[in-house]
Amino acid sequence: LSPVCLGSLRRAASINAEYMGNHRNFSSHTVILSHGKQSSSSCRCDGFSRWNWENRLQEKCLEREMNVVMADIQAFRVKESARELQEKYPEKDVLAVATDVSSWESVQNLRDKTLERFGRVDYLFNNAAVIGDYITGGQFRGLETAKWVLSVNLFGTIHGHHAFVPQMLKQGNECHIINTSSTLGFQTPNGNYPISKHGIVAVSEALHHELTGLKSNIKVHVMMPGIADTPFQVNIGNTRNQHQTIVLSSR
């Protein structure tokens, strides 16, 4: 397991860009990035996220001849983001798939459309998240909100594992799963959001141990950003704003 503790998503962009720039040949690899409403790390190319780290990551992937799959609960937004990327990189392949990561059927659809288009998956970024009741608490208030936060943040990640790990194992090549937790994955303040982020660390560690036992070529990473100046912070009080996921695949 590779934990990456980050103070901001800007630093995350720097690390990812450096990795993409210095690593092996990525030609025709496929990357999946998952998102949702008002994501703290939105994949929009118009600066929706202040640091726009996902934009930088996706552009790096396209520059490395990779195929990019963008998943977001808001169909219009993800298609518009994909269109903007496609215009900037007309010779590259970008796929947009409307996806609700809290729905197993929706994540299965994301997998099926990715494999239909590209035939493989090499990088999975489980980035979907909702803030829910972080400020107001929720251990004895708002059971439905608690279920909703865990269904998106935690089960969105679990759905990604169940949908894409079997395909990665079948391929047999080196693959990477990057799960976004939070510095709150090491702390326990009030609300269900930190609980979900602790859960992401736990399921990532469990997956790492299972894959190590299988002697697979799949690497599991956890990114743990701190507070960043993005719409995720602006929308803390809106308990129905979702976030996104990202998938990268190769031909």
Render pLDDT for 185-232 as a digit per residue (tens, 0 to 9). Answer: 677 777 888 888 889 999 999 999 999 999 999 999 998 777 655 544
Residue 134 is predicted with a pLDDT of 59
- Counting other chains too, the contacts that 154-157 makes at CB distance below 8 Å and 24 or more residues apart are 154/196, 154/199, 154/200, 154/203, 155/101, 155/102, 156/34, 156/101, 156/102, 156/107, 156/126, 156/128, 156/129, 156/245, 157/101, 157/126, 157/128, 157/200, 157/203, 157/204
Q: How far is CA 55 from CA 59, 94, 230, in A?
A: 6, 13, 14
Residue 239 is predicted with a pLDDT of 43
Residue 3 is predicted with a pLDDT of 46
For the chain, percent of residues with pLDDT exceeding 90: 33
The residue with greater pLDDT, 20 or 120, is 120
Residue 229 is predicted with a pLDDT of 52
Collapsing DSSP states into helix, strand and coil, what is residue 54? Answer: helix
Which residue has tokens 């298609």? 79
Single-letter residue type at 42: S
Which residue has tokens 């950003």? 225
Single-letter residue type at 115: L
Determine how many CB atoms are found less than 10 A away from the CB of residue 51: 21
Phi and psi based region of residue 227 (left: phi greater than 0; alpha: psi -120 to 50; beta: remaining): beta
Active-site positions read 193
Helix intervals (H) in 94-191: 104-118, 143-171
- The pair phi, psi for residue 125, each rounded to 5°, is -105, 105
